[in-house]
Amino acid sequence: PWSEAVKKWFVDGEHLENNHMQGSIVLLGPDMKKTMARLELHNLGFKSFKKGALEANSEKVDRMEVEMYMEGLTFAEYDGDA
């Protein structure tokens, strides 16, 4: 999915306001199950995308580095007892 989104953004020119993405970051409590906090990320866009070097006949995981910008953040949920 990342490679497709990057192609649309940088190659196909789909980088206008209606092409921005939304996302969230969920912080888990010590039990790694209960949600402690959720941050909603608004109007995300790509700044850069770098794909790692590929090696022939290698079983290494394909790596990539993505740099994005964010226009807004909402602290959506918090549970200090999580």
What is the token pair recorded at 29? Answer: 């409590």
What pLDDT is attached to residue 4?
Answer: 92
Nearest to 71 by CA among 45, 48, 47, 46: 45
Q: 57 CB contacts (<8 Å, ≥6 apart)? A: none
Please tell me the distance from the alpha carbon of residue 29 to that of residue 36, in angstroms, as a whole number. Answer: 5
Question: Structure pTM?
Answer: 0.77
pLDDT digits (tens, 9 = 90+) for 5-30: 999 999 999 999 999 999 999 999 99
Q: What is the mean pLDDT of the chain?
A: 92
What is the Cα Rg of the chain in Å? 17
DSSP lists the bridge partners of residue 68 as 46
